[in-house]
Amino acid sequence: MELSITQQKENPLLSRTEVLGKLTFEQSTPSNSEVQKSLASKLKVNEQLIVIKKIGTTFGSRTASLNVFVYKDETSLNRIEPPLGKKAAEKKAKLAEASKKAEDAKQESASKQESA
């Protein structure tokens, strides 16, 4: 997956940066969390401050257009963005728990290999 930023517009009234970009990929369209991680590393911001508004693809193409908001802090994010629905909040919590378990398992296996 390759991410390129085509336009960045600062919006001081809403304490955010509006980012437009292009995304190229090999298999299926990347998930929002994958795009969020990639964008966070590229822009050097916390991935929790990134809100993906749209990933638009065209049929048969391996490219997509992005519309993303990057907020300056969590208070402005909570003030402007609507809260997640009940199902979405549960799904996000479940994904966070699963990723934490996976990281713990990696750390345990690494510590076992070092001690052996």
Question: Helix %, strand %, coil % for the chain, to 5?
Answer: 45, 30, 25
Instruction: List, in order, residues 6 or more apart from 24 with CB less than 8 Å away.
Output: 1, 2, 4, 62, 63, 64
Locate 114 and state its tokens: 């070092």
The pTM score is 0.69
Encode pLDDT of 99-112 as tens digits.
777 777 777 777 76
User: Does residue 32 register a pLDDT over 90?
Assistant: no
Please state, in angstroms and rounded to a whole number, the distance separating the CA atoms of residues 4 and 112. 40
